[in-house]
Chains A and B, each alone.
Chain A
């Protein structure tokens, strides 16, 4: 919640800076998840015993591993491939699921600090109060005083805009504001900026597009690695096929598909998790008691399902990459 009410931010907020490197709150959550997973792995490693009746942590770890192995083996149908794919698929599943779930822990996204806005870093849109990073709109205005009163949302005055510059694009979102609304908007923005901006310390890792792009990149990169590992250089034959004009174009499509996979993976995961967070924030904002509980339960399930979808798609792509084009 921001000082004014509902706090929803599409991008992760920076919480620290090391030179040019910005640490966002989603990165902190990812680090916490990594630490938790590694601690769990350590605990399992030192509790492992060769026994026919495992119990406690070992029992849980074995149950989890058997489930993941059967999941991967169900797709590959090969012992060798399962052994190769398992570390990545299982890591995807655990990392994404933990990130999704950590976003639901009370305090994540709600405990933070108030930051005084600096210059034009952020703009908060009324009445939704969705925070948009970067310069939201940029336009040429005649009066310098107008821009100083409205630092976050600048305006376009058609009367003073040069020809061809009526609609101005700045940052990811385009805004066109009539001159008559300038003063009102500027006053609102000024009033909001006078307040301190709420920055949560933690945010679900998968609710940040940078994290999901990174995971998607690893998945697609490993697809190529496994393809080369199993098919050697002939793997690239599916991209660079000069046997026929149709084959050539199919190859180009295959190449585009690999990049599309990154976008598809990243936006699917980000969209689902971020939508869940928005849903929870809105429901909690509207009816704070009892009503959000079923939605929290739903998001717990969504967290597992999204982790499973990402992992299963990865293993399917890994497997497809290791099967020769003629074997399809």
Chain B
């Protein structure tokens, strides 16, 4: 086993050259690229964080706006309900009044019509009875007296009705 100083010195110089070359050609450039990429990633992460924060702010604003809108909608709905109630009450009242008026009118019309019909029926019945009686009896009855008699009978029937 020989320890030779020139060989040791040669190996020291050789290794120093390797260190220098690798540092200049490999370590520093690769480390620079790695650093730049790390910085880029850090910046991108920062930007992404900012976007996330902005998104959160927008989300909060959106929720707030939704709450406000819901409140406003509830208020409008309440007011509309109140209006509708008032209007429906008015309409019901009007309808009831209108119905009553119509009913009264119809009742009056019906009474008039009834009277007319009774009158007409009475006249027709009287005529028919007189004509029948005249044929049966063979004589001409006094229509006035006869009518009076029939009226009495008719009133009795109508009352019974």
- Give the residues from 1 to 26 in chain B that come closer than 8 angstroms, CB to CB, to chain A: 1-4, 6-12, 14-19, 21-23, 25-26
Which residues of A lie under 8 Å from residue B37 when comparing CB positions? Answer: 50, 52
Are A41 and B12 in contact (CB-based, < 8 A)?
Answer: no
Q: B29 near A: Cβ within 8 Å?
A: yes
Are A65 and B1 in contact (CB-based, < 8 A)?
Answer: no
Are B15 and A214 in contact (CB-based, < 8 A)?
Answer: yes
Are B1 and A69 in contact (CB-based, < 8 A)?
Answer: no
Q: A231 near B: Cβ within 8 Å?
A: no
Which residues of A lie under 8 Å from residue B29 when comparing CB positions? Answer: 44-45, 48
Q: How far is the CB of A17 from chain B (nearest CB, A)?
A: 11
Are A65 and B31 in contact (CB-based, < 8 A)?
Answer: yes
Are B8 and A34 in contact (CB-based, < 8 A)?
Answer: no
Are A34 and B18 in contact (CB-based, < 8 A)?
Answer: yes
- Give the residues from 78 to 121 in chain A that come closer than 8 angstroms, CB to CB, to chain B: 83, 86-88, 90-91, 94-95
Partner of A210, one of B11, B16, B33, B36: B11
**Interface size grouping (class) on chain B:** 20 to 34
Q: B52 near A: Cβ within 8 Å?
A: no
Give the one of B3, B9, B14 with max A CB within 10 A: B14
Partner of B16, one of A50, A213, A218: A218
- Known contacts: A22-B4, A209-B3, A217-B8. The answer to whether A91 contacts B25 by CB under 8 A is no
Which residues of A lie under 8 Å from residue B12 when comparing CB positions? Answer: 214, 217-218
Which residues of A lie under 8 Å from residue B11 when comparing CB positions? Answer: 27, 30, 205, 210-211, 213-215
Cα distance A62–B1 in the bound complex, in angstroms? 40
**Interface size grouping (class) on chain A:** 35 or more
Interface residues of B (CB under 8 A from A): 1-4, 6-12, 14-19, 21-23, 25-27, 29-31, 33-34, 36-37, 40
Interface residues of A (CB under 8 A from B): 10-12, 20-22, 24, 27, 30-31, 34, 37-38, 40-42, 44-45, 48, 50, 52, 58, 61-62, 65-66, 69, 83, 86-88, 90-91, 94-95, 133-134, 172, 205, 208-211, 213-215, 217-218
15 A–B pairs (Cβ distance < 8 Å), ordered by A: A22-B6, A24-B7, A30-B14, A38-B18, A41-B22, A42-B25, A44-B30, A62-B33, A66-B34, A87-B23, A211-B11, A213-B3, A213-B11, A217-B12, A218-B12
